[in-house]
Amino acid sequence: MPVRQILTDPDPVLYKKCHPVTKFDKRLASLLEDMAQTMLAANGVGLAGPQIGMVRRVCVVLDTNNDDKIIELINPEVIATEGSQTGSEGCLSFPDKFGIVTRPNVVTVRAQDRNGEWFTVTGQGLTARAFLHEIDHLDGHVFTEKVTQFIEPSDEEDEEE
Residues 6+ apart with CB under 8 A from 49: 18, 31, 35, 55, 56, 57, 58, 59, 137, 138
pLDDT in the model for residue 65: 84
Alpha-helical (H) ranges within the chain are: 26-41, 126-138
Mean pLDDT over 79-88 rounds to: 97
Q: What percent of the chain has pLDDT over 70?
A: 94
Query: pLDDT tens, 43-73?
Result: 999 999 999 999 999 999 999 888 889 999 9
| Residue of 32, 45, 29, 27 whose CA lies nearest to 4 | 32
Q: Give the bridge partners for 47, in sequence order.
A: 60
Asked about 82 being catalytic, the answer comes back as no
Catalytic residue among 72, 89, 134, 160: 134
**pTM of the full structure:** 0.93
Mean pLDDT over 89-117 rounds to: 97
Q: Please say whether the beta carbons of 57 and 19 come within 8 A.
A: yes
